[in-house]
Structure 1
Amino acid sequence: MGNIKYRIGFLLFLAGTLCTQAQDYWSRIEKKEPTLGIAEVYQKYSTPAFQLKLVKASQTVAGLRSNKNLNFDFTPSDRLEIRDKDGLYHLGDINLKIKEGNAGWKSYSTAAKRGTVTPLETSQKILAAADLANTLPADIPVTIKRYYETSGNDLVLRFVITNKTAANIEIGALGIPMIFNNILEGKSLNETHAQNVFFDPYIGMDAGYLEVKRLSGEGPALVVMPEENMAFEAYRPLNDDPTPRSIVFEGFHEWMVYSKAYAENEWKGVEQWNKPTSLILKANESKSFAIKLALSEGIEDIQNILVKEELPVATSIPGYVLPQDIKSQLFLNYKSEVSSFEIEPKGALQIKEDGKTVKGLKKYIVSGVKWGGARLTINYKNGIKQTINYKVIKSEPEVIKDFGHFLTTAQWFDQPDPIFKRNPSVISYDYETKKQLTQDSRAWVAGLSDEGGAGGWLAAIMKQLIQPDKEEIKKLEQFVDKTLWGNIQYSEGKNKYGVKKSVFYYEPDSLPKGTYSKDIDYSTWAAWKHKDANDPGRSYNYPHVAAAYWTLYRLARYNTGLVTSKSWDWYLKQAYYTSIAMTEQAPYYAQFGQMEGSIFLYILEDLKTENLTDMSSKLESNMKERANHWRALEYPFGSEMPWDSTGQEEVYMWSDYFGYEEKADVTLNAILAYMPTMPHWAYNGNARRYWDFLYGGKLSRVERQIHHYGSSLNAIPVLKQYRKKSDDLYLLKVGYGGLLGGISNITQDGFGPAAFHSYPTELRIDYISGDYGSGFYGYAVNTATYITKEDDLGWLAFGGNITTKGDVVEVKITTASKSKVFIAPKQLWLTLDAGTFEKVTYNTKTDEVEITLNAANEFTPNAYLRINKDITLPYTKVRGAYEIPLQKKSIQIKLQQK
């Protein structure tokens, strides 16, 4: 019963007041007078690719289906009878801000107050047309005519705007609402995956586009592109649409070609993805604005559609997050030559020509110089403009070093805390005030558990896995001995190895006066009482603890003198007991995939390596029971939320482990539906998350989050799949985008925020550390170097700098861990339990691989190398890994497959 009560409370809070009021909002909308005209006749049109349905009165889109799947509608037609009121947007609407003379900006929208539009003459290519005057204010200084046209197999939505005054006017904002069916309200997982879409923007000016994908990941996908004068300049949330935003609806956005009016007011002082512009429309002048809608066979075919439609297509390797020591490769696929580049801020990037590919793609080397966002504008000779937004970061080793230092200094909490007993620990942090967050209305944020409170110490411990630091580890051992074991986690009677929801709680009547700040509102349900905080029933808390023990086991087992408080086997057994406790103490939530749930598979593998047979058998049995449950479900990645992007990581990993390939594929397809690859650091590899600012952020609202923990967690299964199917470069681009996206928001001084705000009013990090640790776990266990060859692009490296000389390919490793390398043409997966790679060379003629290992240090006298192929080396095998004595300088080892 406690679990059910908690689940209800958790859901309500995560939606803020939005979820509790959602039905009320819908009810209010339904009671409004219908104005869209759906009681009248619909107009239906068939094109080579689409079935288009329009409301006759408004000529807005009532349905858009592919001829290949008439059962699926890209638009929210299932809610048309509720959303037929003033103020609710539909595909076919338009928004403007216009300035006349010295007056201020004035807003106009076809959705604000509906009126029956006046039909215009059609033709063979024009399916429907209308003068929109009746659905616009009488004082608007322009006329707007809208056309639905065919262009080959594609559908074109065109607006022709004419200045009807005798003077020039300025259009400072022009946007077309992108209304597709992302409203998940009231639907089961099966229904959402069958009926709903998510969409992602490439805000890249004339090369920009929107990809609209079914939640199942199955085709066809819809691609929205500029047809005429529709550069994708900005992407504005339509928060004035009354459709209630919540955990089941992230909201609508509009594609903006001009945004200057917003930049001067609502977005003032915020650096936008593109330079905000406006249009001076002369007296009696007309201008046409059109977008094109095309269908792609599937998600991975979207780039081919862009090429076919003759849009500029950019591909950056390894992506658009640029460590300063990486020489990235940029490939441009477009019919026109480049006339010039612009870089903002000036000097933030360096770019130089590097010839062309076999098929004639333009090739460049791009390097990050100045830390921070950097916009590359590509001006083509035919007048087309493309922008690529990069994020320049320090080298990965420097980023991670700064991160570890910040966590174990600025976030290190070791002041007296006799009531809540949180010292010593790494505690949550407010980067805006530069203070530790020792109190918060949400008990977990200040309570060292749950994602929002465990994020700090989890990140600090996971950092040691890839870049161990003796002094930092010494602090974290104290945390484990004094705070984690016995306080966050405890063993009492039947609650053996239970993990508390929080060690911070709100009981002012039973505690000394002054314990709680008067400036914090503790009136919400999230200010848990002591009993609620002690509840061990939330399974999502267990992976954090298990990962901490497992990391210290790895450090103790494969290094010398790094971990001294406990023996390696104590930590591994604690990890095991915690894993088992999750299934026993939190069975309700354990039916779902967990964020960081892959940790249980890593623990199982190490139990087997250590020949702890009874433990490994028990853990495998418990996990197979969960996997069998998922196998029986059509879409096996539910969670405490109606829809989520957290369980897919673990569901894929166990489905793959037990050979449930069908469920692994279903899971992977769903991940690819919400995790795109596109030429923009913020969206490339960005797994969809949009409500977690409510419970783990400082600026609390429903908003698409940029590289929240979903990015790096979902990169785990994507990159695992790539290692199985290494001819699919798309998977590598998506997975590596999520991997580096996971560290892209770390500040110059090492603070790791919950996520980055996508709204154009902010475009900055959130100021609370929150649940970032879950994302860093994904980076820590998954960071690796990938070496591959693509038919046209040639040899490529992700996580290293590549050079080719004759038959020899050499890659210098640049990741923070330098412990994993995958050579795709050989399907060779090399991993180090200790020690680091300096470089790898591959002779394509002799098929020989040579690895160079860095020198020994005080704590790592030996390297432990694992190879997934039948390769014999002249070293002793220890627990399945070659034990290689390191030297005072780097050593080279040749790997020759039998």
Structure 2
Amino acid sequence: MKHIKLWMAVLLCAIILPEAQAQQTYWSRVEKRESTLGVSDVYQKFETPDFRLKLVRASQTVAALNPVKEPYFDFTPGDRLEIRDKDSLYHLGDINLRIKEANDEWKKYSTAYHRATVTPLSTSGNILAAADLANTLPSDIPVSVKRYYELDNDKLVIRFEITNKSGAPIEIGALGIPMIFNNILEGKSLVETHAQNVFFDPYMGKDAGYLEVKRLSGRGPALLVLPKENMAFEAYRPLLDDPTPKSIVFEGFHEWMVYSKAYADNEWKGVEQWNEPTSIVLKPRESKNFSFKLVLSEGIKNIQETLVQEELPVAVGVPGYVLPQDIKGQLFIQYKNEIASLMVEPKGALEVKPDGKAPSGSLRYVVQGKKWGRARLTITYTDGVQQTVNYKVIKPESEVIRDFGHFLTTEQWFDDPNDPFGRNPSPITYDYEKKEQVTKDGRAWISGLSDEGGAGSWLAAIMKQLVQPDREEIAKLQHFVDETLWGNIQYNEGPNKYGVKKSVFYYAPDSLPKGTYDEKINYNTWAAWDHKHANDPGRSYNYPHVAAAYWTMYRLARYHQGLVDNHSWEWYLENAYQTSVAMVEKAPYYAQFGQMEGSVFLLILKDLQNEGLTKEATDLENRMKERAEHWRALDYPFGSEMPWDSTGQEEVYMWSDYFGFDRKAFITLNAILAYMPTMPHWGYNGNARRYWDFLYGGKAGETSRVERQIHHYGSSLNAIPVLNQFRKKPDDLYLLRVGYGGLLGGISNITQDGFGPAAFHSYPSTLKIDGISGDYGSGFYGYAVNTSSYLVKDEHLGWLAFGGNLAQKGDVVEMEITTAAKSRVFIAPKNLWMTLDAGTFKKVSYNLVTGEVMATLNNKTEHTPVAYLRVDGTVTLPYKMVRGAYEIELGKKEIQIKL
């Protein structure tokens, strides 16, 4: 039956696509006929070289924005115009203001609050439409606002002219332009959303700032909203007063803020903003124009090229904008005018030194983080244009991971032998604001060591050992495996053996002692599972956590000495395999979707193959291929229990790539790039979109809301396929920049003392980490299995190091490895991928003349006397092969290996 359904889906696509093309041709002929119904009285239509623009005649707000070459795609939510034709619902073309007269209070004004027919103004030359907006603004507003739609060098421009009509100076403390594009996914299938909807990402870079608007499919031209006149991108405010309901199918709308001081004085008081909040004073009768232009970029990867063409300053950071303190980062700046000054805030947070020019002519700077925390670099050019680049300075990666592991196995270590739920011992969810463990929560999984929000802490503690093994921490985790994981979180006998429970914690007040539950917590919701529901093994998303734990312990037992002694490596690998199989057998419904951390099943398969366990490997491969065949038959195979999601793509890509389903892997990668941008801002660079998990994995209370999350676990999980694809196409630097942004973004929010939070809050009223650890463990899995170093030569920027420091001595380029694991290195010019199952790299070098690669391994340690090196590439080494890896005896000194 399953195969019949798949063939029906394929057949349906084969029927629909040609029919859709025929309908487009039909409608294009219809559109050319004379209009007789009177709709022209409702709308005004204009055509520019790039767009078909449709305005609501009464309000002159945008009703549709269609690319000329694709007239049936609308960047705006025009398909819901008849629903959204009410007061307070924002549209592109609206404006929000906060104004202060003399010593008065800030007063707010908006063209969206009370709709009324605006007064058209005469047009000529390049002006397409114009209106005085007085009718839709309160009568007491001290300014006049006129709006123009016009062409400038064939680019569509929206301009607001604001005039102080009073006899005294006024201060504009907030000026925001709502950016209303079609990100409402409600009621649509995955196919429809990828065809019709967009996501958009802000670069709050002042005069160099912009908004990029991309289709969910990642295909087709991207829309860029660029500053033209007095349109600095200072802040990005959520429009919480728009009544369009926010949910898992609608992230909400935001506005581009030119000035934000009025909010910084009030709602955002005490919160460090991305840019310094400013205002402007208009003299009596003084006018000022604020305008932005709408520009199409050929594709997502062409955005930087388009910015250069439009003469915006462009900054490119390597390895990105999350800077470990031992990294000498590079910053490349390209602009038509020279730099007048550089300013760092807080003072001394960054050291910025000029370093000549790149091959393309871009100015090159060495940037090194000196003080932990957020830092802002302000670049002022000789023409007065200002650009800001936001960095996050962190400790050296090895220190970050060391502190993280210590925090998890001390502060988060739950040790209560009388716990009625059997959670003892375990790393458990932690409230960083209260400095206490979360043992009770209305969401069963948060305190139940389950799902992402509760399993996150113990998963992270175990994955940390893959990066940086610690004997004392592993000893504790062995107790967790024997006393909590095997037999409590996971069934170890009976018909559900290897099945994983939905939660260890449950709500059953009648069967447990009084005081077990907190009376202040509301347990009267769907999330407070009873014992029966908590024991249900049918939720597939719990299985990868358990499988990853066993797999990591297998690697520690197999490739190191004396780290693991409670079970053999065979036991751990067998349990990893059986858990993978159990997911498909015991949780078949959700197993049809890609799983977060689902790439672990591929890692388990490869180790089964390396161990010669042919029966188990063949069984697992067949089961996973059936899932991949299902995804292959779907147009967009990354659904989940949510209508749209950004976490199934990791596993869908990896299996599609493994089985040679290249087209499906390509489609999946494009979708990832649509919601994972690269831009000069640590919070958004490589940040995979997620906006509902503060509800399910974050702290309960006022910050439990629908909100764009900064470096939620999706960032580092999606970096797995992006970096995998880069190693296939090492000339595509865009992929490396995006992937590495997500990789380092995955550890950017860890605090100085080692606490790993669910994510960072993007609302300008908050801008801080979430209060609990929540679902961060899934993100750390992505970092742990993907942390790596890359030596690259780019034709425009020259030699680059991601995960290391560069030095060039004559014909030899050397990269000192700075990652915490120091176990994976890619030499792009040789397409050479080297990984260590045990042992660590100190440095690698590349001879430009001979092409020779030299890898230096660190000396042996107590638990790692032997290194196991895997090499993807045409290389033969004089060492014994063991399970597909070269076995290399380490000594008291470093070892050099010539490749």
Aligned-partner Cα distance in 2 for 1:418–1:476: 18
The aligned counterpart of 1:23 is none
1:432 equivalenced with 2:433 (yes/no) = yes
1:537 equivalenced with 2:538 (yes/no) = yes
Question: CA-to-partner distance for each residue in 1:499-522, whole Å, 9 max, x for gaps?
Answer: 001000011011111111112111
Over the matched positions of the two proteins, sequence identity in percent amounts to 75
Greater shift, 222-231 or 148-157, is seen at 148-157
Report if the CA contact (8 A) 1:38-1:55 is conserved. Answer: no
Output aligned runs, 1:391-430, within 5 Å: 391-430=392-431
1:715 equivalenced with 2:716 (yes/no) = no
The aligned counterpart of 2:335 is 334
1:263 equivalenced with 2:281 (yes/no) = no
The aligned counterpart of 1:631 is 632
Structure 1 position 364, deviation (Å): 0.4
Report if the CA contact (8 A) 1:405-1:750 is conserved. Answer: yes
Aligned-partner Cα distance in 2 for 1:38–1:378: 50
Question: CA-to-partner distance for each residue in 1:170-203, whole Å, 9 max, x for gaps?
Answer: 0000000000000000000000000000000000
Aligned-partner Cα distance in 2 for 1:503–1:712: 27
Question: CA-to-partner distance for each residue in 1:699-752, whole Å, 9 max, x for gaps?
Answer: 200000000000000000000000001110000000000000000000000000
Normalised by the length of structure 1, the TM-score is 0.95
Counterpart residue type for residue 69 of structure 2? K
The aligned counterpart of 2:773 is 769
The aligned counterpart of 1:18 is none
Report if the CA contact (8 A) 1:799-1:814 is conserved. Answer: yes
Aligned-partner Cα distance in 2 for 1:779–1:561: 25
1:835 equivalenced with 2:839 (yes/no) = yes
Aligned-partner Cα distance in 2 for 1:153–1:561: 70
Structure 1 position 154, deviation (Å): 1.5
Greater shift, 427-436 or 147-156, is seen at 147-156
Structure 1 residue runs without a partner (length 5+): 1-36
1:824 equivalenced with 2:828 (yes/no) = yes
1:749 equivalenced with 2:753 (yes/no) = yes
The aligned counterpart of 2:3 is none
The aligned counterpart of 1:313 is 314
Greater shift, 353-362 or 133-142, is seen at 353-362
Counterpart residue type for residue 510 of structure 1? S
Counterpart residue type for residue 887 of structure 2? E
**How many pairs align?**
859
Question: CA-to-partner distance for each residue in 1:79-102, whole Å, 9 max, x for gaps?
Answer: 000000000000000000000111
Corresponding residue SS for 1:310: coil
The aligned counterpart of 1:8 is none
Structure 2 residue runs without a partner (length 5+): 1-37
Corresponding residue SS for 1:261: helix
The aligned counterpart of 1:496 is 497
Corresponding residue SS for 1:72: coil
Aligned-partner Cα distance in 2 for 1:645–1:542: 18
Corresponding residue SS for 2:825: strand
Counterpart residue type for residue 74 of structure 2? D
Structure 1 position 38, deviation (Å): 8.9
Select 1:879's aligned residue among 877, 883, 898: 883
Structure 1 position 418, deviation (Å): 4.0
Q: Which runs of 4+ in 1 moved over 2 A?
A: 37-40, 491-494
Aligned-partner Cα distance in 2 for 1:130–1:492: 74
The aligned counterpart of 2:237 is 236
Report if the CA contact (8 A) 1:350-1:367 is conserved. Answer: yes
The aligned counterpart of 2:572 is 571
1:787 equivalenced with 2:791 (yes/no) = yes
Counterpart residue type for residue 222 of structure 1? L
1:862 equivalenced with 2:863 (yes/no) = no
Report if the CA contact (8 A) 1:317-1:329 is conserved. Answer: yes
The aligned counterpart of 1:344 is 345
The aligned counterpart of 2:894 is 890
Question: CA-to-partner distance for each residue in 1:814-870, whole Å, 9 max, x for gaps?
Answer: 001000000111100000000000000000101101010001000000000001123
Structure 1 position 358, deviation (Å): 2.5
Structure 1 position 609, deviation (Å): 0.3
Counterpart residue type for residue 63 of structure 2? A
Report if the CA contact (8 A) 2:98-2:174 is conserved. Answer: yes
Report if the CA contact (8 A) 1:38-1:84 is conserved. Answer: no
Report if the CA contact (8 A) 2:59-2:115 is conserved. Answer: yes
Aligned-partner Cα distance in 1 for 2:362–2:516: 65
Aligned-partner Cα distance in 1 for 2:544–2:640: 15
Counterpart residue type for residue 330 of structure 2? Q
Aligned-partner Cα distance in 2 for 1:187–1:227: 35
Question: CA-to-partner distance for each residue in 1:478-501, whole Å, 9 max, x for gaps?
Answer: 100110000000134331210001
Structure 1 position 39, deviation (Å): 9.7
Report if the CA contact (8 A) 1:38-1:57 is conserved. Answer: no
Output aligned runs, 1:384-783, within 5 Å: 384-698=385-699, 699-783=703-787
Question: CA-to-partner distance for each residue in 1:379-415, whole Å, 9 max, x for gaps?
Answer: 1111000000000000000000000000000000111
The aligned counterpart of 1:28 is none
Output aligned runs, 1:254-293, within 5 Å: 254-293=255-294
Counterpart residue type for residue 239 of structure 1? L
Structure 1 position 627, deviation (Å): 0.2
Report if the CA contact (8 A) 2:237-2:763 is conserved. Answer: yes
Aligned-partner Cα distance in 2 for 1:172–1:621: 62
Distance 1:302 1:91, change over 3 A: same
Structure 1 position 684, deviation (Å): 0.1
Over the aligned positions, Cα root-mean-square deviation in angstroms equals 0.9
Corresponding residue SS for 1:53: strand
Counterpart residue type for residue 800 of structure 2? L
Question: CA-to-partner distance for each residue in 1:57-105, whole Å, 9 max, x for gaps?
Answer: 0000000011121111000000000000000000000000000111100
Report if the CA contact (8 A) 1:188-1:642 is conserved. Answer: yes
The aligned counterpart of 2:131 is 130
Aligned-partner Cα distance in 1 for 2:392–2:373: 6
Structure 1 position 342, deviation (Å): 0.9
Report if the CA contact (8 A) 2:490-2:497 is conserved. Answer: no
Aligned-partner Cα distance in 1 for 2:296–2:318: 27
Counterpart residue type for residue 849 of structure 1? V
Aligned-partner Cα distance in 1 for 2:838–2:400: 21
Normalised by the length of structure 2, the TM-score is 0.95
Counterpart residue type for residue 602 of structure 2? L
Counterpart residue type for residue 464 of structure 1? Q
Distance 1:509 1:40, change over 3 A: farther
Question: CA-to-partner distance for each residue in 1:641-661, whole Å, 9 max, x for gaps?
Answer: 000001000000000000000
Corresponding residue SS for 2:800: strand
Greater shift, 64-73 or 269-278, is seen at 64-73
Aligned-partner Cα distance in 1 for 2:506–2:39: 52
The aligned counterpart of 1:9 is none
The aligned counterpart of 1:12 is none
Structure 1 position 40, deviation (Å): 4.6
Structure 1 position 122, deviation (Å): 1.0
Report if the CA contact (8 A) 1:115-1:134 is conserved. Answer: yes
Aligned-partner Cα distance in 2 for 1:669–1:468: 36
Counterpart residue type for residue 612 of structure 2? N
Structure 1 position 872, deviation (Å): 1.9
Counterpart residue type for residue 161 of structure 1? I
Corresponding residue SS for 2:255: strand
